[in-house]
């Protein structure tokens, strides 16, 4: 069973890596499943043993990204530092391979894609093969930023890094807007500035939340 599980995990990761390699040469919509299988050196039929459609590879990428960034956020203590680490790591990845970020944003922007998402949890074998240096996966979510970010936001409020009473749902919405919006605002071919853009936008968000709380407190005192 362990051998079979390891083989399955290796095959799925090989298919993902093949797709990512091809995405550096042409848009994802122009990449055929047959081409992915050729690069991964697996049969066409094998692909559909693991993925229902080509777009599921993008979901798989996001799942692996979730585990990695959740680990990196925890490694710096979570809270605001964790959020900034998550954004910084994503920016570094995007600056190195901008095509991937562009494809993920394009995919998620299409509501019909999101509605059809079927997310299967990652197996322990997949996580261990992809991230051999991570020892404990117990608390690491694999379902995207809407699972990874809320605990970090909550930690920031509990620690006083963000004002008491901060609307955590609104902060999540703001962070999602920055995460998806900054790459779009920079436009294709300008991902080299994404790290700096993320840093500026996060600083503005933290400062705005603190300033708004200060104004609210001042108005209360005036009454």
Give the range among 20-34, 39-53, 101-115, 158-172 with minimum mean pLDDT.
Answer: 101-115
Residue pLDDT, tens place only, 162-196? 999 999 999 999 999 999 999 888 865 567 889 99
Residues whose CB falls within 8 Å of the CB of residue 37, separated by 6 or more in sequence, listed in order: 15, 18, 43, 44, 46, 47
Question: Are 101 and 183 a contacting pair, CB within 8 Å?
Answer: yes
Measured CA to CA in angstroms, residue 222 lies from 140, 217, 219 at distances of 45, 9, 5
Tell me the CATH class for 55-222.
Answer: mainly alpha
Tell me the CATH class for 1-51.
Answer: mainly alpha
Residue 208 has pLDDT above 60, yes or no: yes
Distance CA 43, CA 20 (A): 18
Which residue is listed with tokens 């020892």?
135
Residue 73 has pLDDT above 50, yes or no: yes
User: For the chain, where do the domains classified as CATH 1.10.10.60 start and end?
Assistant: 1-51
pLDDT of residue 153: 97
Q: DSSP label at 119?
A: P
Residue 113 has pLDDT above 80, yes or no: no
Residue 160 has pLDDT above 60, yes or no: yes
Residue pLDDT, tens place only, 4-14? 999 999 999 99
Residues whose CB falls within 8 Å of the CB of residue 92, separated by 6 or more in sequence, listed in order: 195
Residues whose CB falls within 8 Å of the CB of residue 43, separated by 6 or more in sequence, listed in order: 37
Distance CA 5, CA 12 (A): 11
pTM of this structure: 0.89
Q: Could you write out the DSSP letters of every residue in 129-171? A: HH-TT----TT---S-HHHHHHHHHHHHHHTTSS-TT--HHHH
Distance CA 73, CA 111 (A): 29
User: For the chain, where do the domains classified as CATH 1.10.357 start and end?
Assistant: 55-222
Residue with the bigger pLDDT between 46 and 185: it is 46
Tell me how long the chain is.
223
Give the range among 1-10, 54-63, 68-77, 186-195 with minimum mean pLDDT.
Answer: 186-195
């Amino acid at each position: 069973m362990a051998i079979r599980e390891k083989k399955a995990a290796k095959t799925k990761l090989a298919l993902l890596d093949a797709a990512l390699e091809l995405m550096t040469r042409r848009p994802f919509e122009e990449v055929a499943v047959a081409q992915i299988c050729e690069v991964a050196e697996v049969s066409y039929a094998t692909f559909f043993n693991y993925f229902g459609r080509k777009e599921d590879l993008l979901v798989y990428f996001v799942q692996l990204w979730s585990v990695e960034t959740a680990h990196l956020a925890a490694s710096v203590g979570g809270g605001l530092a964790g959020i900034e680490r998550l954004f910084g790591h994503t920016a570094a990845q995007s600056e190195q391979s901008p095509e991937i970020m562009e494809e993920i944003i394009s995919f998620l922007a299409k509501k019909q894609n999101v509605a059809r998402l079927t997310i299967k949890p990652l197996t322990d074998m997949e996580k261990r093969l992809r991230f051999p240096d991570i020892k404990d996966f117990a608390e690491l979510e694999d379902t995207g930023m809407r699972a990874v970010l809320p605990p970090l936001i909550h930690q920031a409020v509990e620690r006083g890094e963000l004002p008491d009473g901060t609307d955590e749902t609104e902060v999540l919405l703001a962070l999602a807007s920055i995460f998806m919006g900054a790459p779009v605002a920079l436009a294709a071919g300008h991902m080299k500035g994404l790290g700096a853009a993320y840093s500026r936008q996060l600083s503005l968000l933290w400062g705005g939340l603190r300033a708004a709380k200060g104004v609210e407190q001042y108005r209360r005192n005036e009454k």
